Structure 1
Amino acid sequence: MAKPKSAAFTRIRAEVIRLVGLIPEGKFTTYGSIAVHMNVVARHVATVMSHLTEEESAALPWHRVVSADARISPNMERKLAALQRSRLKAEGMKINREGYIQDTDDHFHVVGPRRDIRWSALKDS
């Protein structure tokens, strides 16, 4: 039986999904940039992104989140990486053979400054 998720993880998940939904077309950000803004580690963001439901995947611009070096993750399933590449290219980004986004300064989306949040200390509303 799967272990139930903590209240903190539930809040983190909701915030990652909210922030990904705010990334404008033609822009990208990184797992780490979202993580710094949220005061979590990039692995938390990656975990949320890798466990999106089909409905969330269809509704969110998940393809606009890449690794810290502005690269499509080389660890991603090949078919999914090809989909991410095609979606980013359709939004005007150039991607080299190794999966790196070119002209990053023109396309990088700044999520925001680090927030001073302790997710486990938040009270349920």
Structure 2
Amino acid sequence: MPKPKSIAATRIRAEVIRLVSLIPEGKFTTYGSIAVHMNVAALHVASVMSRLTKEESVALPWHRVVSADARVSPKMEASLAMTQRQRLEAEGMRVDAQGYIQDSDAHFHVVGLRRNIRWSDPGSGGDP
């Protein structure tokens, strides 16, 4: 994997990985929910997730992050989407034929409130 190009990108990547690691078994969250908490765009979160190393993919519960409509992303490679679906189902979530998590409110993991953070400021640790 190529090195991130900026301090901000490095910090964002580390925080996405940290937040994903905290999603409990049997729960899911969305790219957007993580993004709102981090005060970044959902695309930043999706970009980090799509570039996980093999080691990170094994260690992280990446399958617990889905699209805004509680759906396995239809843009994902079919075999990867099937793996995600199987892992979600193994944790007790029902996923319909279109990839939507059923009874999503019962399984949704709230990441947290929006943080006031400037990712390009190396001294910024979050809220003042």
TM-score of the superposed pair, with normalisation by structure 1: 0.95
Where does structure 1 differ by over 6 angstroms across 4 or more consecutive aligned residues? none
Distance 1:122 1:111 in 2: 23
1:25–1:37 Cα change, 3 Å = same
Unpaired segments ≥5 residues, structure 2? none
Aligned-CA RMSD value? 1.3
1:25–1:4 Cα change, 3 Å = closer
* 1:5-84 paired onto structure 2 within 5 Å: 5-84=5-84
Unpaired segments ≥5 residues, structure 1? none
1:117–1:104 Cα change, 3 Å = same
TM-score of the superposed pair, with normalisation by structure 2: 0.93
Cα offset for 1:5?
1.4
Give the counterpart letter for 2:119 in structure 1: W
Cα offset for 1:120?
1.0
1:94–1:22 Cα change, 3 Å = same
DSSP-derived class of the 2:120 partner: helix
Count of aligned positions: 123
Give the counterpart letter for 2:14 in structure 1: A
